[in-house]
Structure 1
């Protein structure tokens, strides 16, 4: 494992209690960061904090990222424990059901948009002022190759992730001279429990689009995010990094 230096940094990972988020936090803490899990599942938080504690200080906060008030309280809890925030990885998200666009109910559409896109905005809205005070921060938003290409039977997810890409580019430009760096990662499918939310037909479709012929691994996502979260990432902002096994064409 290539080592990046995150010693003394405080890193929040949303949806950090399992899957990609857990792997990312594990990698950041192995690089010296103090870890903060923001998740909605209290049981999963307890399990994750227990298993990560061997790597260093870790703090868990139960939070609903679709609620500005809940996110605000999570910031207060994090600052109360560590006094600062250096890194924010917006990883939390859901896939939603697989249907044709016109078959989604408004409620199904809004749920995915609220968690996958508005949640990113609300977390950035709450954390950026903390980073601006010290003129330093690293924000990594986990988008998806679906946001570039548009997966059929996943229009709500594709639209949300396209929104994350656009938001990353806007926010990165707004913060370009502030010392706060903002980038996005666009994975193809990573092998996690999120696959359980999808139909086999949709899983087969997505695998067929990847030239490497396999899904990504959580440690591969974590490795990319670790560099984007470090001081070494200093002249790259408002950018999008592919993690798609050759699928992405731009």
Structure 2
């Protein structure tokens, strides 16, 4: 018996990185899972590598649009008949700069990719979860959702906004058998970190390795976390064992955040 037997999960940005690790953990615990991504090729590769047969399904789509987010969540229900778990994992930021030099476009893109995608998928999922009086929503925040860093304000701002949305939604659906929590990882060297880390480091006056070293040194464990660290917390939050946890910002950052 798995902790998620009979459940259906939807994971945005699920073809690689933290989303992929969470999707694999959900399947291991008995759930059927939809993974999402923009690339059909990466989706097919992920499905093949996961080797979970009909228990995993890929839905392509762009989370930077309301229509894309609605299609991903509603497509999960269309394919598997229900949605019990939403992990709004997709996100990122590019064109980092100090606030004085920031463009509107960089801030807007970060808010759409992180915050608006979370809002759109959460709202769509709740329209299914409220009638069934059960559900688990997990949002992807960050250690930057609890702290600030120079040069990374577009990401810090979006992740703080996600935490606020998470806390408010949890209050609204707390008596309906639905929990809403965010996970707040520290730095993890995923594909997107490798892609967006160097320009982010430059905005902080560092090279890429220097950025990784800063994140490691700030933690109590003096190393980066790994994707599986976050995935196991997602399993807890998605399970019956997590029923008493809601409106929480769960740090998985090796002791970096002060709270």
Q: TM-score, normalised on structure 2?
A: 0.91
2:239 maps to 1:241: no
More deviation in 165-174 or 200-209? Answer: 200-209
Distance 2:75 2:245 in 1: 30
SS in 2 for 1:149: coil
| 1:1-250 aligned within 5 A | 5-54=3-52, 57-196=55-194, 197-199=196-198, 200=208, 201-250=210-259
More deviation in 65-74 or 105-114? Answer: 65-74
- Native 8 Å contact 1:148 1:162 kept in 2: yes
Distance 1:83 1:223 in 2: 25
Distance 2:122 2:112 in 1: 14
Deviation digits for residues 33-75 of structure 1 (CA, Å, limit 9, x no counterpart):
0010121122111111122233651111112222112222223
Distance 1:78 1:70 in 2: 12
Gaps of 5+ in 1: none
Distance 2:14 2:26 in 1: 11
Gaps of 5+ in 2: 199-207
Number of residue pairs the alignment of both structures matches: 248
Given the superposition, is the C-alpha separation of residues 153 and 178 from structure 1 closer, same or farther in structure 2, using an over 3 Å criterion? same
Distance 1:26 1:75 in 2: 18
* 1:205 positional shift: 2.6
Distance 2:30 2:121 in 1: 23
Structure-1 residue corresponding to 2:204: none
Distance 2:133 2:79 in 1: 21
CA RMSD, aligned part only?
Answer: 1.5
SS in 1 for 2:106: helix
